[in-house]
Structure 1
Amino acid sequence: MDQSPDTVAWARRLRMRHLESFLVLNEAGTLTLAAERLHMTQSAVSHWLSEMEDLVGAKLVLRGKRMTLTAAGEAVRKLALRVLGEVSRTSDELVSLAKGDVARLHIGSVTAGVAHLIPRAIVAFQARHADVAFQVTEGTFNVLLSRLEEREYDLIVGSIDARAYGPHLEHEVLFADDIAIVVSPDHPLSRAAAVSWADLYQYAWVMPPRETLMRVRLDTTLLERGGAGIKPSIETGSVVVLESVVRGSTYIGVCSAAIARHLASLGLVTVLPIADVGSFGPVGAVWRRGGQNETMANFLALLRAEASAR
C-alpha cells in the first residue's frame, strides 16, 4: 500500500543518533544514567527525548523511578533495532568486501530444517557459488523470528504458523513434518512387535522445550492418549543432547520426523511405530519483506529443490 509523504514525515526527520540514544535510554532506565552513558547533561537528555516525542507525535516513555516504554515507545524500540541492525550488517559486509572476503548468508533454523534440508542446500549452493559463506544457528522459532526482524538473520527455516504472517515478513512452505518418538537401538521397546502409548509411560522422557510448537502439540497428544501426567526429565531443542541421552539409555525421545529419519539412517536411534503421534505442521522459509536479493533467491530455489527431493 502506497503511503503519502505526510504519513512518514516524522521518520524522515529521525536520525541515527535519535535511534541510538533511544536504545541507550531504554537500557539505562533513568535519565540520570542515560545522561552518563551518552555524555550529556540530564536536562539535555530530557530535551532530546521531548524533541523525539514531538517528531513521532506520541509519548514514548512513562516517567517514574524507572522509565517504561509506552506502546509507541516499544514500536520505536523495534524500529531502532531493525534499522541499526541493518546498518551494522551492511557496514560489516562493506568492510568484508573491501578486504576481498566472501559474501555471507546468516541462516537461523529449528532442528527440523537442520536435519537434512539446510546442509544439503548449502553444499549444492556452494558448488555453484563458492564465493558465498554461510553461518547457521539453531534455535526456537520465537527467538529466531525475533532476531530475523532485528536483522540478525537473513533467512530462517521454521514452523509456518500465524507468526510467519507478520506485516514485515514473507514466507514459503517447504515441507510438512510430523512428530516422532525415538529410542536407543538397544531399548527394550525397539525390539517389540507392537508398541502402545501405555508402554511409553514407564520411562523417562526427553521432550522439546515447553515454549515450542512441537511441545504444545505433544502435550495435546499425551492428554488424549492418557499421558497427561507425564513430565519430561529433560527439555531440550538440541539434537546432540537428544541423541546423546537417548542412545545407550532407556529414555524416550521426542523430535521431528525429519530429525528422526536422519538419526535412524545413521544407526543412532530407532523410530517407534506409534500411531497418531501428531503433526509438527508445515516447515518453511521466512524472510523480511523486501529483503530478498539475488543470493537469497538462489538459495531459496535450492531449499525448494531439496525439500521436493526428500
Structure 2
Amino acid sequence: MIERSEGISWARGIKVRHLESFLVLDEAGTLTEAAARLHMTQSAMSHWLAELERVAGTPLVVRGRKVQLTPAGHLLKRLAITVLGDIVRTGREMHAVAAGRVPRLNVGSVWAGIAGGLPEAVTAFQQRHADVAVSIHDGLFDDLLKGLDTRAMDAVIGVLDARAHQPQLAHHVLFDDQVSIVIGQGSKHWHSEQPLGFADVLREQWVMPPLGTLTRIQMDAYLIEQQASWLVPKAETASLAMMQALLHKGDYVGVCAESMADYMASLGLFRKVAIDSNIRFGPITVVWNREHVSATLMDFIDCLKAHVRGLPAAQVQEAPRA
C-alpha cells in the first residue's frame, strides 16, 4: 500500500484543469495571453495561479513581462505533460474497447518475419486502425510463443513445426523460407566481381546462430552433407544487429534466413554466397491463441497475408477465425 506522505498528499488538490492551464500559460508566456486563450479574465488567471502555487507549496513562475518557470515550475510542467499524455492515450484506448476493438497489438517475430512483409503489414493495418498501437518484439520463436499463453503476445511469426501444433493455437502459413550464407562489407570478398561460392568462404571466420536454433540445426546438417562438419564458428549470436555489425566491421561469413538475406542485400548491406543446394529453413507462419482472438487481430493477420503475398488487401482470402 502507498504510504500517505507529503510527496503524495500535495497533489490531491491539483486537478486536470490545473495542468492544462499551466501548459497554456507556459506556451502563452504572459498571464494576459493565457487568460485570453482560456476565456478567463486576467484577474481570474492570477487568482488561479496563486491557488496552484499554494497547493504546490512553492512559486511556479517568475512574473514579469514574460513569465519564466521556476525549477518547481519545470517539474510541474513535466508532470502535466506526462499525466495529460496518459489521459489522452487511455481515452483513445477506452474508445477502441468501447467500439469492440483492442487498443494495442503485441506481435512477436523471428528475423524472417520482419524481412518478409511485417513492416508493410503494420503500415497497412494502421491505415485502417489509426487508434491501435502495434508493439513489435523480435527474438527466439520459443520465447515468443510462450507469450501467447500469458497474453503478452497476440500473434507470433516463426517457423511452422511441432511447437505451433498445440490444441489452443491456430496458425496460417505465410511463405516458405531457406537458409542463406552471406558476407558483409567487412569481408575481403565484398568487392570481388567473381561469383562467390561456398568453397570460397568455407575456411573463413563464421558467425552463426546459437546451438539449438532451427537455423543452426539446418546449417549444421548442410555442413555434414558437404563433409565440412569440422567447421566451428568464431562467433554465435541470436541478434541480427550484432551479426550485421560483425559482418560490416570484420572479415566474417554469416548465416541467416534467405528472406532476411534478400532484404539486407537490397539495402546494400549483405551479399549472398551461392550454394549448390537449398538449405530449407521451413514455412514461416503466423500463430495465435484461439482463446484470445479478436476482430482487430484477424484484421492484422489479413494485412500480413496481403503484404507477404504481394496482393492488395481486398484480394486476400481471410485467415480462419478459429
TM-score by length of 2: 0.63
Q: Does 1:221 align with 2:212?
A: no
Which secondary structure state, in structure 2, belongs to the residue aligned with residue 120 of structure 1? helix
CA contact (8 A) 1:160 1:281 kept: yes
The residue correspondences of 1:242-257 to structure 2 (distance < 5 A) are 242-257=243-258
Tell me the alpha carbon deviations over residues 116-165 of structure 1, each in whole angstroms, 9 at most, x when there is no partner.
Answer: 42111001111111000011111111111122222210100000111111
> Taking every aligned residue pair, what percent have the same amino acid on both sides?
37
Q: What displacement does 1:232 show?
A: 1.6
Match of 1:174 in 2: 174
Match of 1:142 in 2: 142
The 1:121–1:98 alpha-carbon spacing in structure 2 relative to 1, beyond 3 Å, is closer
Match of 1:120 in 2: 120
Match of 1:260 in 2: 261
Distance between the aligned counterparts of 1:179 and 1:99, measured in 2? Answer: 43
Q: Does 1:99 align with 2:100?
A: no
Q: Does 1:110 align with 2:101?
A: no
The 1:186–1:255 alpha-carbon spacing in structure 2 relative to 1, beyond 3 Å, is same
Match of 1:287 in 2: 288
The residue correspondences of 1:1-310 to structure 2 (distance < 5 A) are 99-102=90-93, 103-185=103-185, 187-190=187-190, 191=192, 193-309=194-310
CA contact (8 A) 2:151 2:292 kept: no
Query: Which amino acid in the other structure matches residue 258 of structure 1?
Result: S
Which secondary structure state, in structure 1, belongs to the residue aligned with residue 230 of structure 2? coil
Tell me the alpha carbon deviations over residues 201-248 of structure 1, each in whole angstroms, 9 at most, x when there is no partner.
Answer: 221111112121111111000111122011222212222111111013
Distance between the aligned counterparts of 1:233 and 1:169, measured in 2? Answer: 38
Q: What displacement does 1:115 show?
A: 1.7
Which secondary structure state, in structure 1, belongs to the residue aligned with residue 292 of structure 2? coil
Which secondary structure state, in structure 2, belongs to the residue aligned with residue 136 of structure 1? strand
Distance between the aligned counterparts of 1:192 and 1:120, measured in 2? Answer: 33
Query: Which amino acid in the other structure matches residue 287 of structure 1?
Result: W
Tell me the alpha carbon deviations over residues 154-193 of structure 1, each in whole angstroms, 9 at most, x when there is no partner.
Answer: 1000001111111111100000011111102463334263
Distance between the aligned counterparts of 1:277 and 1:183, measured in 2? Answer: 18
Which secondary structure state, in structure 2, belongs to the residue aligned with residue 131 of structure 1? coil
CA contact (8 A) 2:198 2:273 kept: no
Distance between the aligned counterparts of 1:199 and 1:226, measured in 2? Answer: 15
Task: Provide the aligned C-alpha RMSD in A.
Answer: 2.0
CA contact (8 A) 1:177 1:283 kept: yes
Number of residue pairs the alignment of both structures matches = 216
Which secondary structure state, in structure 2, belongs to the residue aligned with residue 175 of structure 1? strand
Tell me the alpha carbon deviations over residues 44-91 of structure 1, each in whole angstroms, 9 at most, x when there is no partner.
Answer: xxxxxxxxxxxxxxxxxxxxxxxxxxxxxxxxxxxxxxxxxxxxxxxx
CA contact (8 A) 2:178 2:281 kept: yes
Match of 1:79 in 2: none
Which secondary structure state, in structure 1, belongs to the residue aligned with residue 249 of structure 2? coil
TM-score by length of 1: 0.65
CA contact (8 A) 1:209 1:215 kept: yes
Which stretches of structure 1, 4 residues or longer, exceed 6 Å deviation after superposition?
95-98
CA contact (8 A) 1:197 1:225 kept: no
CA contact (8 A) 1:200 1:252 kept: yes
Query: Which amino acid in the other structure matches residue 213 of structure 2?
Result: T
Distance between the aligned counterparts of 1:96 and 1:239, measured in 2? Answer: 36
Tell me the alpha carbon deviations over residues 284-303 of structure 1, each in whole angstroms, 9 at most, x when there is no partner.
Answer: 10011232211011001000
Structure 1: where are the runs of 5+ without partners? Answer: 1-94
Query: Which amino acid in the other structure matches residue 99 of structure 1?
Result: T
Q: What displacement does 1:195 show?
A: 3.6
CA contact (8 A) 2:207 2:237 kept: yes
Which secondary structure state, in structure 2, belongs to the residue aligned with residue 290 of structure 1? helix
Which secondary structure state, in structure 2, belongs to the residue aligned with residue 285 of structure 1? strand
The 1:121–1:244 alpha-carbon spacing in structure 2 relative to 1, beyond 3 Å, is same
